[in-house]
Structure 1
Amino acid sequence: MNKIVKYILIGILVLGALWAAAFFIKSNSKDAVTYETQTPFISNIEKKTVATGKVVPEDEVEIKPQISGIIQKIFLEEGQKVKSGDLIATIKVVPNEQALNQSRGRVRNAELALNNVTIEYNRNKALFDKGVISSQDFNSLQLQYDQAQQELQNARADYQIIRQGSAGGSTSANTNIRATVEGTILEIPVEEGDQVIESNNFNDGTTIATIADLSKMIFEGKVDEGEVAKLEVGTPLKISLGAVEGTELDAKLRFIAPKGIEETGAVQFKIEGDVEVKEGVFIRAGYSANASLVLEKKDDVLVIPEALLQFDKKTDKPYVEIETGDQKFERRDIEIGISDGVNVEIVSGLTESDKVKVWNKTEPIKKGEDEEGEEGKSEE
């Protein structure tokens, strides 16, 4: 019995020794990892940010009526170009019955007053011609007669304005809605038959049309509070439009809001930039756009790819590994500057002759492994 146990133990030890030997041979048969290196180089580097927004006309003019009424006729359409003075629409006046009745009564009273003064004037004129009354008395009657005539003219003119919207002989009737500036009609928010309200001290009035010059456009966007301090008025912008592929417009920053607006937990500041519209490029008002802004730029500085950086787990300071011999590396702490997301500036710690270890290179997938993976997927 003891011999059987002894043989079993010996067999187990032999199998263990064979397994350990096989594992050791397999481990040492793997190819040794060979690290590549890269050297720092001189280049220009820019730190950029992107502001999202839209492109809108610099000035939009809203055309409003000077009298209330109903849209009788619209002569133009959205998208048409207009000049100052072009007729856009006409308004049919719907007079207020109370105001119309009062104005009609005023005209009747002025007629009665004029008739009475006319009788007195004619009678006293005959007496004046005979020398019965003095010049002073006749002059007083002459003044009353002239005032009564003027009052009747004023009453009739007011009645005409209330009834038709303008006095007879007016060179520019209030019922004609005309363009006040040159540009393109962006919007006509009313239709024929709509009722409109006049613009006055207590009411903005109904907008008949909106006109803007599409050759003068600006970019409106927002930037984060962490970047706004690095911006300056006059900074060049590159505007890319989502609706116009392959077109990039130049612009200059002209305004930075002094007050931020909190949106989804972050403070945003409004910015504006003058856009240079290229000839042959038609930009519609309200196109969504992105503006690329250069926050910081340095020329002819020493840089390395940002992927070569490593960071200390305790201090979070950057460092790289420098080749000191054949596949031998040592750690070197460095100081970095600005980054553009691809390359990073080296302030100190490296020279152009140093060879930096590529520590995180992605190994290519071998053909055999790739085929095995595809077979596994097909079997599943």
Structure 2
Amino acid sequence: MKKSVTVFILVFIIVTFAGAMYYLYSKNQEDPVVYQTEKPSVRTIVNKTVATGSIIPLEEVLIKPNISGVIEEIYVEGGDVLKANDLIAKIKVIPNLATLNQAKNAIQTAEIALNDEKRRYNRQKNLFDKGVISKEEMERAEVTFKQAEQSYNAAKQNYDIVKTGSTKGLGSSANTLIRSTVSGMVLEMPVEVGNQVIQSNNFNEGTTIAALADVNRMIFEGKVDESEVGKIKEGYPLEITVGAIENATFDAVLDYIAPKGKLENGAIQFEIKGTLHKADTTFIRAGLSANASIILSRADSVLSIKEALVQFDETTKKPFVEVKTGEKQFEKREIALGISDGLNVEVKEGLDENDEIKIWNKIKTM
């Protein structure tokens, strides 16, 4: 019995020893760890933030009628370039019956007053011819008669305006003729022939007949998050990219940052505006979506490395990299960093172009 136990123990020891030797042999056969390296490079680093928005005209003028009615004719369409006072549309007046009746009654009242003053004038003239009244009394009667005549003519003109929107003698000032008030391109014509329009007054904005703007004076209007608004200032340069225009970038200057933010989708957003500098003939349509890269800082032709190569000391929190000094040998070297664009970072001190930096956090391929 004791002999069997002894044999079992010896066999177990031999098997365990053989397994350990095989494990050590397998480990020795594995390839040694080889670290890859990268060298610093000279590049331009731009630190920027991006705002989303759209391209809109600096000034957009809405043309509204000063009389209510129905669109009878339209003379322009979107895309036409107009000068100030160019004809846009014509309105056919649909008179209000109550107002029309009042204007008609005003004519009759003024006619009665005119006939009365005419009889008085003729009577005074006869008396003046006979030498009964003075010249002063005659002149007073003449003035009163002419005033009554003027009131009668004014009542008739008012009746014509109420009925047709125009009257004899107004010419280009007729309310029914809608003209452009500024020079610019027609952005849109939101009305069509037959549409009813409402006049613009103190109580109503009125119906928009046309929208005009100078398309050579465009701005970017967008929004930035509250986390970014503290990093930007008025006067910062912008790089505008328009989604509908490929391979084109437009320069602009940030000239407005809203003093108050608005809550949108759970985040505070601040409105910004930037004036575009169009140095070429590219036509940018109003309302196109665009992105604005706000340049916070820039370093041209500086020594840089990838941010993934940078490590930080656990105690001092200072940045460092591991620089190759020999075959499989690296030394720790502290560096001074500059601006970063999120992928690459400027190296101010500690490295030169010939140094080889260990890629310490490279993801292994499975």
Task: Output the TM-score relative to the length of structure 1.
Answer: 0.87
CA distance in 2, matches of 1:150, 1:350: 95
- 1:374 corresponds in structure 2 to none
- 2:88 corresponds in structure 1 to 88
Q: After superposition, give the CA deviation of every residue in 1:324-350 in whole Å (9 maximum; x if it has no partner).
A: 443223434444232122321234555
CA distance in 2, matches of 1:299, 1:245: 26
Counterpart of 1:267 in 2: which secondary structure? strand
- 1:292 corresponds in structure 2 to 293
Give the superposition deviation at 1:13: 2.5
One-letter amino acid of the counterpart of residue 86, structure 1: D
Q: Cα 1:143–1:164, aligned 2, differ >3 Å: closer, same or farther? A: same
One-letter amino acid of the counterpart of residue 61, structure 1: V
Counterpart of 2:260 in 1: which secondary structure? coil
- 1:261 corresponds in structure 2 to 262
Does the 8 Å CA contact 1:70/1:92 hold for their aligned counterparts? yes
Give the superposition deviation at 1:151: 1.0
CA distance in 2, matches of 1:44, 1:69: 62
CA distance in 2, matches of 1:81, 1:287: 20
- 2:311 corresponds in structure 1 to 310
Counterpart of 2:157 in 1: which secondary structure? helix
Q: After superposition, give the CA deviation of every residue in 1:108-133 in whole Å (9 maximum; x if it has no partner).
A: 11111111221221122122112122
One-letter amino acid of the counterpart of residue 345, structure 1: E
Counterpart of 2:35 in 1: which secondary structure? coil
CA distance in 1, matches of 2:302, 2:227: 25
Give the superposition deviation at 1:83: 2.5
CA distance in 2, matches of 1:162, 1:42: 77
What's the C-alpha RMSD, in Å, of the aligned pairs?
Answer: 2.4
Moved more, 187-196 or 149-158: 187-196
Alignment of 1:58-137 (within 5 A): 58-137=58-137
CA distance in 2, matches of 1:94, 1:44: 68
One-letter amino acid of the counterpart of residue 214, structure 1: V
Where does structure 1 lack aligned partners over 5 or more consecutive residues?
366-380
Alignment of 1:40-55 (within 5 A): 40=40, 43-55=43-55
Q: After superposition, give the CA deviation of every residue in 1:26-49 in whole Å (9 maximum; x if it has no partner).
A: 111111112234454555432122
Give the superposition deviation at 1:280: 4.1
CA distance in 2, matches of 1:96, 1:363: 83
Q: Cα 1:283–1:354, aligned 2, differ >3 Å: closer, same or farther? A: closer
Does the 8 Å CA contact 1:227/1:295 hold for their aligned counterparts? no
One-letter amino acid of the counterpart of residue 153, structure 1: N
CA distance in 1, matches of 2:137, 2:205: 52
Give the superposition deviation at 1:87: 2.1
- 1:25 corresponds in structure 2 to 25
- 1:343 corresponds in structure 2 to 344
Alignment of 1:313-328 (within 5 A): 317-328=318-329
- 1:376 corresponds in structure 2 to none
Q: State the number of aligned residues.
A: 365
CA distance in 2, matches of 1:45, 1:245: 23
Where does structure 2 lack aligned partners over 5 or more consecutive residues?
none
Counterpart of 1:290 in 2: which secondary structure? strand
Q: Cα 1:260–1:23, aligned 2, differ >3 Å: closer, same or farther? A: same
Does the 8 Å CA contact 1:238/1:293 hold for their aligned counterparts? yes
CA distance in 1, matches of 2:356, 2:344: 16
One-letter amino acid of the counterpart of residue 74, structure 1: I
Task: Output the TM-score relative to the length of structure 2.
Answer: 0.90
Give the superposition deviation at 1:107: 0.7
CA distance in 2, matches of 1:167, 1:215: 39
Does the 8 Å CA contact 1:65/1:177 hold for their aligned counterparts? yes
One-letter amino acid of the counterpart of residue 199, structure 2: E
CA distance in 1, matches of 2:285, 2:41: 44
Counterpart of 1:206 in 2: which secondary structure? coil
CA distance in 2, matches of 1:281, 1:20: 76
Alignment of 1:248 onto 2:249: yes
CA distance in 1, matches of 2:248, 2:347: 34
Aligned-pair identity (%): 50
One-letter amino acid of the counterpart of residue 117, structure 2: V
Alignment of 1:99-248 (within 5 A): 99-172=99-172, 173-248=174-249
Alignment of 1:6-17 (within 5 A): 6-17=6-17
Counterpart of 2:171 in 1: which secondary structure? coil
Q: Cα 1:292–1:190, aligned 2, differ >3 Å: closer, same or farther? A: same
